[in-house]
Chains A and B, each alone.
Chain A
Amino acid sequence: MYQFRYHKPATLEEAVDCYQSAEDGIYLAGGQTLLPTMKQRLAAPSDVIDLSAIDRLTGIEVTSDEVRVGAFTRHDEVARHEGIRRRLPVLAFLAAQIGDGQVRNRGTIGGSVANSDPAADYPAAVIGLGATINTNARQIAADDYFQDLFETALEPGEIITRIDFPVPSRAAYRKFPNPASRYAVVGVLVADFDGRIRVGITGAGPCAFRGTALEVALQGNLNSAAIEGVEVPDVGFNNDLHASAEYRAHLVKVMARRAIADLVG
């Protein structure tokens, strides 16, 4: 890892100032993606700005129709949180399947969503539940947020502060984990908002996206037979040593069927 300057600002404003005055600054949350990347010298920032001391990025709030998770919340905290387990169990279930225990003790939801790894789990929930990404500057709707491989709507220096998840009537997430890393080869989240269906897909493409054809088929007809005839074209899907694009397209329907089975038995 190359040398850098380390900062630990106490407020959001200081963090943004620090980013702006740095030659090539980068924010550090749990470090579970950033530090390995820096060790491989794929990133060589001049300044590392640790977000861990900023109070505004912490805290979980559970209301009757929304679950609001501070960006600095670690995966393990989401997995174990009583309120989330009661109100939005799918999110706790998803978080419990990220990586391994040590990664969940460090990694944060804000870091995962900011990074937008094509195989990350949280993006399926952000898309599938239609979450709102709050930043230091604005609110971004899930459908506008993920743009391409590791590319999001975030501007340089913009900080995710909180993610608000609407609470559906029911929802389920299923992934086909890579056997070594547990990253999602494909992950599908199916949510039912009083009959309005949303489907979030991760792992398959360069970033998470909505399964609109699946949503249409499931509207008013939430059972696995309903998606039997839906074509999932593999155009633009990831094709790498973990799985071919064609296989990923196949997995989308398999994971969707499993998620639907969790919902309707």
Chain B
Amino acid sequence: MEVTLTVNGSQHSLEVAENTLLVDLLREHLRLTGTHVGCDTSQCGACTVHLDGRSVKSCSVLAAQADGAEITTIEGIGSPDDLHPMQAAFRECHALQCGFCTPGMIMSAIDLVQSSDDLDRRAVREGLEGNLCRCTGYHNIVDAVLRAAPQMK
């Protein structure tokens, strides 16, 4: 089937099998490998991208369901010379170790900041419930989100 969607600002029309997942469209068809697959069972959030501005686990969305949608991946939010405030805050706060969870963590954190009024440490931890990190213990991730939040307003 044909799927037409906008990814990081550019439109693509792709021929995919009906059972293609959004994450496979991104990684295999568009070679956007910044979006990771951790569990493939909707638990870990490593595959989080934005679909029409809201965070979703792209391993639990069919490419067909994203037809006509706007997708933003980690590749679409900043560049090495011009990091998104959330990316910069993750670097400054040492909010990553192996980095595997980081793309999903950052995409969730951006949605969390954009859709919340007041965030405190507890609200950030609860807001990142859908993202698992095996390395950091979350402490510095919470620091990073709270550092980036005012800069994004």
Contact = CB atoms under 8 A, between A and B. Distances in A.
Interface of A: 1-6, 8, 28, 31-32, 35-36, 39-40, 48, 50, 52, 76, 99-103, 105-106, 180-182
Given A48-B18, A99-B130, A100-B45, A6 B64 contact: yes
Contacts of A100: 45, 129-131
B135 interface: no
A98 to B, nearest CB: 11
Contacts of B51: 105
A50 B45 contact: no
Interface stretch (B25-33, B52-60, B71-79, B92-100): B52-60
A253 B41 CA distance: 33
24 contacts: A1-B21, A3-B17, A3-B19, A5-B18, A6-B62, A8-B64, A8-B67, A31-B65, A32-B42, A35-B60, A36-B42, A39-B40, A48-B62, A99-B130, A101-B127, A102-B45, A102-B60, A102-B130, A103-B57, A105-B54, A105-B56, A106-B56, A181-B43, A182-B129
B48 interface: yes
B151 to A, nearest CB: 21
Interface residues of B, number: 30
Nearest to B108: A101
Contacts of A48: 18, 62
B146 interface: no
A32 B19 CA distance: 15
